[in-house]
Amino acid sequence: MQAIKFMALATSCLLALPICAQAGEKETIKYRENNMEIIGAHMNSIVAIIKEQVPHKEHLTTHASGLSAAAKMSSAAFKEKTSGGDTTAKDTIWSDSAKFDEAMQMMLASTAKLETAAASGDMPAVQAAVGDVGKSCKNCHDTFRNKK
């Protein structure tokens, strides 16, 4: 009996999937915010490590590749336009998408550079790349994000 119930549930879920798969606006916003939180968490960890506030130098390469990987998902996370909702994203993300893409590219280039520098263990290069990554965050936030 349990098995039959489970099968029925599984089948109805499969049938409903195309409808379920339509992300609602709330989920779309949450997803891109989660992407930014992941990016932010890696970035904060990297800064704490290079400032030697924490003794986890061996984590640097993992954070740098995690940051780069999360940055690569960011463009897709912002693809779907939302209007309203609990968000600080500006509408110009979608009305001035060429400029937004440029801001994304700046983050992608700098996070890729940071990943390479971290892998090579070249600390001055890591420092420089972290500075560039930070500029890329600020550049986009200043233009495309409302202050809370």
Considering only residues 88 to 127 of the shown chain, the ones binding ligand HEC according to CB under 6 A are 88-89, 93, 100, 103-104, 107
Residue 65 interacts with ligand HEC (CB under 6 A): yes or no: no
Q: Which residue has the tokens 């420089």?
A: 128
Q: Which of 112, 123, 113, 110 is nearest to 57 (CA)?
A: 123
Nearest distance, CB of residue 123 and ligand HEC, angstroms: 19
- 30 to 24, 33, 35, 74, 141: CA distances (angstroms): 10, 5, 9, 13, 17
Among 39, 46, 114, 117, binds ligand HEC (CB under 6 A): 39
Cβ-based nearer residue to ligand HEC, 17 or 98 = 98
Residue 46 interacts with ligand HEC (CB under 6 A): yes or no: no
Tokens of 29: 């916003």
Instruction: Give the C-alpha separation, 23 to 31, whole Å.
Output: 10
Q: Applying CB under 6 A, which residues contact ligand HEC? A: 29, 32-33, 36-37, 39-40, 43, 87-89, 93, 100, 103-104, 107, 133, 136-137, 140-141, 144-145
